[in-house]
Amino acid sequence: MIISGPCSAESELQVLETARQLAATGKVDIFRAGIWKPRTRPGTFEGVGDVGLPWLRAVKEETGLPVTVEVAKAVHIDLALKHGIDVLWIGARTTVNPFSVQELADALRGVDIPVLVKNPINADTELWIGALERILKAGIRNTGLIHRGFSSYSKNEYRNPPMWQIPIEMKRRFPEIPLLCDPSHICGNRHLLRDISQKSIDLGFSGLMVESHIDPDNAWSDAAQQLKPQDFFHLMEMLVWRREQLPETDTHAELTALRGLIDQLDDELVNLLGQRMEIIDKIGVYKKNNNLTILQTKRWNEILKRGFARGEELGLTRDFLTRYLNAIHLESIHHQNEVMNSDEVKVSGLNHSEKGIKHVKGQ
Ligand code: PEP
Ligand code: MN
C-alpha cells in the first residue's frame, strides 16, 4: 500500500497538481495531505484548516484516488467525514497523549473508516500499543500502523532515528495489522529515502507513506524531505519488493537446513552467555572479598579493544560490536551487583562462594 502526497495542503492548485502528477505515476494507492498541522513551535504554518477539505474531494473526483488526512481532535473527524475523506491517520504528536487518542476513539465509535496510527514521538512501544488498542476498542475494524521514527536528543543522521526493534516488536504483537513505513519523517531529507524504504520492505513492512510536492523546495512545511512526483516515481521504481513467505508448494529444503544451523548457533550463543555469567559471578565474589569496585575501567577498555579487533576481522560492524559488548557488560554488572550487595553471600573464598551465589539466584 503506497500513500503519497504533500506534507501540507497549501492551495487548491498545489494539492490538485501534486495529485494529478502522482496519479499519473500509477504508483499511488492513497493520496495524503495535512490539513491541520501539529507544529513544534507556534507561529509556523499550522495548516490551511477545513478550507482545504474540498480540495481533497476534488482530488478524489478527478483522480479516483482515495484520500487521507491527519486528525488530532474530535472536530477534525467530524469535518473529515463530512467531506468524504476515506482514511484517517493519527500523528506522532497525538499518539503520545492518551487523552487525545481517547477523544478520537470516542468520536470514531460507530464510524466505519480505516484509521492509521503513527508511532508516538518517543520510543515507547506500550504507548503505541495503547493508542492502537483505544482505536480497536472503539470498534474500528480497519487499522494500520505507521512507523515514522523516534525523536532523539543527540544529533543524528536521521531526523527521527528508526529504532527498528520497535516496529519489529509491533509486527510480532500485531501480525494481522498492516505496518507501513514513513521514510520521509524518519530521514528528514531526500537522499536517505531509498535506503530506509528498502530496509522497511526487507523487514516485511506492507507499504510506505512518502511525502511529495510539486515544488518541494518551496513547501510550507517539511521542505527538505519531500519529493517531486517524478522523483517519487523513480524511488518506487528502484525499490525491490520481496515476499515474506515462500509459497506452500515450495519445499525450500535449503532454507530449512540453513535455519537449522542458525537455531543451533543461537542455542550455543545463549549457552555461552550463561557460562560467561557463571564466571562473572565468581569474579563478583572475588571483588567482594577483596573490596574491589565492580567497574574496572581499564579491564573494560581491554575487553572492548579485543572485541573490536576480533569482531571487525569477522566483518561485524563497530556499531553492532559496541551495542553487543555494552549489553553483555551491563548484564555482567547487574550480576555482580547482586552477588556483591546481597547480605546472604557470606563467603571467604571462591570455593565456598558457589553455594552463596546459588542462594542469591534462587531469591
Ligand atoms: C506528517 O505526516 O506530516 C506529520 C506531521 O507526521 P508525524 O506525525 O509523523 O510527525
Ligand atoms: Mn510532514
Chunked into runs of 10 residues, the chain (363 residues) has average pLDDT values of: 98 98 98 94 92 98 98 98 98 98 98 98 97 98 98 90 95 96 98 97 95 98 97 97 80 87 93 95 94 90 95 95 96 93 58 44 37
31's enclosing H/E stretch is: strand 30-32
Note whether 320 and 178 are same-domain residues.
Answer: no
- Asked, for residue 9, whether it belongs to a domain, the answer is yes
Note whether 222 and 266 are same-domain residues.
Answer: no
The predicted pLDDT at position 360 comes to 42
User: What cell numbers appear for 347 in the block?
Assistant: 563467603
- Asked, for residue 246, whether it belongs to a domain, the answer is no
Domain boundary among 238, 263, 280: 238
Q: CA-CA distance, 156 to 84, in Å (whole number)?
A: 40
Q: Are 5 and 19 in contact (CB under 8 A)?
A: yes
- Asked, for residue 247, whether it belongs to a domain, the answer is no
Q: Which domain holds residue 96?
A: 2-238
The predicted pLDDT at position 355 comes to 42
Note whether 225 and 283 are same-domain residues.
Answer: no
Q: What total number of domains does the chain contain?
A: 2
- Asked, for residue 74, whether it belongs to a domain, the answer is yes
Note whether 232 and 120 are same-domain residues.
Answer: yes
Note whether 29 and 156 are same-domain residues.
Answer: yes
Rounded to two decimals, the pTM is 0.80
Note whether 263 and 300 are same-domain residues.
Answer: yes
The predicted pLDDT at position 251 comes to 79
Going from the Cα of 202 to the center of ligand 1, the distance in angstroms, rounded, reads: 23
Note whether 152 and 260 are same-domain residues.
Answer: no
- Asked, for residue 116, whether it belongs to a domain, the answer is yes
Measured from CB, residues less than 6 Å from any atom of ligand 1 are 7, 34, 91-93, 118, 148, 185
Beta strands in 75-178 (DSSP E): 87-90, 115-118, 143-147
Q: CA-CA distance, 27 to 5, in Å (whole number)?
A: 12
- Asked, for residue 225, whether it belongs to a domain, the answer is yes
- Asked, for residue 243, whether it belongs to a domain, the answer is no
Ligand nearest to the CA of 3: 1
Q: CA-CA distance, 116 to 96, in Å (whole number)?
A: 14
Q: What is the DSSP string of 214-265?
A: SSGGG-SS-TTT-B-HHHHHHHHHH-----SS--TT---HHHHHHHHHHHHH
Residue 202 to residues 8, 233, 241, Cα–Cα distance (Å): 29, 19, 8
Note whether 33 and 123 are same-domain residues.
Answer: yes
Cell 467531506 locates to: 83
The alpha carbon of residue 94 and the mean position of all alpha carbons in its chain are separated, in whole angstroms, by: 16
Note whether 274 and 219 are same-domain residues.
Answer: no
- Asked, for residue 352, whether it belongs to a domain, the answer is no
Note whether 64 and 147 are same-domain residues.
Answer: yes
Ligand nearest to the CA of 219: 2
Cell 523513480 locates to: 234
Note whether 126 and 213 are same-domain residues.
Answer: yes
The predicted pLDDT at position 247 comes to 80
Note whether 200 and 83 are same-domain residues.
Answer: yes
Probe target for ligand 1 pocket from 44, 89, 182, with the most ligand atoms within 8 Å of CB? 182
| Ligand 1 atom index nearest CA of 118 | 9
Domain of 280, CATH number, reads 1.20.59.10
> Which residues fall within 8 angstroms of residue 260, CB to CB, at 6 or more apart?
none
Going from the Cα of 318 to the center of ligand 2, the distance in angstroms, rounded, reads: 33
> Which residues fall within 8 angstroms of residue 34, CB to CB, at 6 or more apart?
6, 7, 8, 9, 47, 69, 70, 221
Going from the Cα of 40 to the center of ligand 2, the distance in angstroms, rounded, reads: 12
Going from the Cα of 132 to the center of ligand 1, the distance in angstroms, rounded, reads: 17
